Structure 1
Amino acid sequence: MKEIHCLKSLFRWLLLLLGVLMMLALFQHKLIYHPRSYPADYQPWETSSLELLRYQTTEGSQTAYYLPPKNGSVQRVWVLFGGNAGLALDWLGLLTQVNPSGVGFLLIDYPGYGACEGSASPEMIRISTREAFQAWQREYGIESQPGWATLGHSLGAAAALQFAEDHPVDRIVLLSPFTSLADMVRHLFGGWLVPLLRHHFENRKPLQVVLERNPFPAILIVHGDRDEVVPVQMGRELAALNPGQIEYLEVPDTGHNDILSKLWPRLHQEFAASL
């Protein structure tokens, strides 16, 4: 009888463990992505030069935003990607302080974010970004063929590297990047959960791809030394892939969410870099 009781207890614990694993597998999307929508009355394009780019993917209707140059024709377009709780139009508060001649900004919302339908995943973010690029080309590419650059923060750094892998760019800025989502899972929960991961962002490979190009783009990786979300060691590891080609900047007394405000003067320089 004692053995039967022990087996029943073991079986209950195994069922509990299986339930926890299934919950983690099914609900990891909510742990990775934190989508938000815009308020119904928030329409900054009605009072600014911001332009909407609407397009379709298998996830449904998508909307990106284009902020054209204030002065002159477009010579470079920066494609900007926010973090896992960010929205494309969150960039406007900072971009209103920028006035580089000949520079436009393409602001990307992930599927399920802002006015976009569907659900985010590495694959769907990549597809949506490709379609946003094509939508820009259809609308503006006849008049000009500018250079392209990209900037991403946190999860957005992975999206920026996807864009750089798929398109020729001359500048890349990565803020608080992780090495991979698998490494983040190991850091937060331990390696035993990695096999359950269904969202595979891997930043080493696309970074190595762009490093092999000739000419290779200017690459800047920035990390706060007190980042409480993505360990600073991950930024160091990515920069170490090629210290000769990657500029690495570690910002003192800076965490994960205040890096943009502290780095804004340097980003001004990046946006205005020679075309």
Structure 2
Amino acid sequence: MPPAHAPPPARRKRPWLLGLLAAPAVLYGALLAGISLKQEDLLFHPEPLPAGFSFAGLYPPEQDVEEMRIAVDGAELDALLFRQPESRGLVFYLHGNAGNLVSWTRNVAFYRQLGFDLFMLDYRGFGRSTGRIASEAQLHADVRAAWARVAPAYAGKPVVILGRSLGSGLATRLAADVTPALLILVTPYTSVERLATEQFPLVPAALLKYPLRTDQVIGTVQSPILIAHGDADELIPFDHARQLAAASSGRAVLLRVSGAHHDDIHQFPAYLEGLSQRMDEIASQSAK
């Protein structure tokens, strides 16, 4: 018999239990590493076009369209400029995170009817643009290079910067720097950082390479702002637009498009009429 005060027998170590407890931490670390390395794949969904692709024949014969190649650091951006007879001004359009110029210029007739030229570029890796997106700073620099290429030709005419979805954050930063006649944000986000934490709540915000904090920039924009957002948007909730309007130092008008989702807002008469009215006002004020 063991003595009355002998210590209890030593417990056997259970390495399988330690492994089981460590497994979630390993999986979480792998998830974070994957998100860190693959952020571009998660955020951007470009559709490349063949190098020899031609836009000829995609638009009505009466539409004057010029393809432009814009040199940026380590790449070349592809862009289209649609000119109208007796142009009233320019819409500088920054599109969303998927597709290319072919898919995004299907509604060019809307701007032609308003008498505005339309400029649109493809980001790196989209369409016929070369290179790969590598940072938020690079995105802003590319947009600024495109602006420097096209905007000087419209001195004295109203220029509207329009950003849709992903492009809304880029448009807001550009508008804060160059003060256009009007900034239009369509289905915008307060920040990609907020969207990411809403969808991946366990991912630290510090890990994100593309926070795109529109909410921190919009208050510095000196231009009038129109924010258009569908109240049925399933990707970027309408509350993002409401908070941006509140942060805009009183410069933003919020256009709530009843029943519009993220990808179909441009099909709603309320959206088209809201943009038409505001752009007509801008053009009329400039003509006085």
TM-score range, shorter chain: 0.7 to 0.9
Q: Cα gap change, 1:49/1:137 in structure 2, threshold over 3 Å: closer, same or farther?
A: same
Q: Cα gap change, 1:208/1:122 in structure 2, threshold over 3 Å: closer, same or farther?
A: same
Q: Cα gap change, 1:125/1:248 in structure 2, threshold over 3 Å: closer, same or farther?
A: same
- Report matched runs for 1:203-242 at 5 Å: 203-210=214-221, 213=222, 217-242=223-248
CA RMSD, 1 decimal: 2.4
How much has 1:6 moved relative to structure 2? 2.4
The letter for the 2-side match of 1:43 is F
CA contact (8 A) 1:81 1:160 kept: yes
Residue identity (%): 25
Structure 2 residue 188 is the aligned partner of structure 1 residue 173? no
2: CA distance, partners of 1:271 / 1:107: 17
The letter for the 2-side match of 1:84 is N
CA contact (8 A) 1:53 1:132 kept: no
Structure 2 residue 136 is the aligned partner of structure 1 residue 122? yes
Identify unmatched segments of 5+ residues in structure 1. none
State the Cα deviation string for residues 8-37 of structure 1 (Å, max 9, x = none). 333344323221211111112111110112
Residue of structure 1 aligned with 2:26, choices 10, 15, 27: 15
The letter for the 2-side match of 1:235 is A
Residue of structure 2 aligned with 1:27, choices 38, 42, 46: 38
Residue of structure 1 aligned with 2:163, choices 143, 152, 161: 152
TM-score by length of 2: 0.83
Structure 2 residue 114 is the aligned partner of structure 1 residue 106? no
The letter for the 2-side match of 1:171 is L
Q: Cα gap change, 1:131/1:244 in structure 2, threshold over 3 Å: closer, same or farther?
A: closer
The letter for the 2-side match of 1:161 is T
How much has 1:49 moved relative to structure 2? 1.1
How much has 1:41 moved relative to structure 2? 4.3
Identify unmatched segments of 5+ residues in structure 2. 1-11
1: CA distance, partners of 2:144 / 2:95: 16
Q: Cα gap change, 1:8/1:92 in structure 2, threshold over 3 Å: closer, same or farther?
A: closer
1: CA distance, partners of 2:241 / 2:56: 34
3-state SS of 2:142 partner: helix
The letter for the 1-side match of 2:137 is E
2: CA distance, partners of 1:51 / 1:271: 23
Q: Cα gap change, 1:51/1:244 in structure 2, threshold over 3 Å: closer, same or farther?
A: same
Match of 1:131 in 2: 145
How much has 1:248 moved relative to structure 2? 0.7
CA contact (8 A) 1:75 1:145 kept: no
2: CA distance, partners of 1:102 / 1:23: 47
